[in-house]
Structure 1
Amino acid sequence: MIRAAVALMLAPLSVAAQDLVFSPEATESCLAGLVAGQDQTTCVGASANACMDATQGGWSTVGMSGCYEQERLYWDARLNAAYGRVRAEAKKIDAEMQEIGSSAPSQADALRDMQRAWIGYRDATCDYERSLWGGGTGGGPATVSCHMYMTAAQARYLENAGLGE
Structure 2
Amino acid sequence: MRRRAIFSLIAACAISACAHQTTPPVAAVEGMRWIEVEGDDPKVAFGVPDSDVMVVMMTCAPRSGQVAIAVTAAPDAKPRAVELRSGQAAQRLAAVTMPSELHDGLVETAAPASGPVLASFARTGELAIGVGASPMLLPAADRQMAGRFVEACR
Same fold (TM over 0.5): no
* TM-score normalised to structure 1 length: 0.28
* TM-score normalised to structure 2 length: 0.29
Point out the structure with the larger helix share: 1
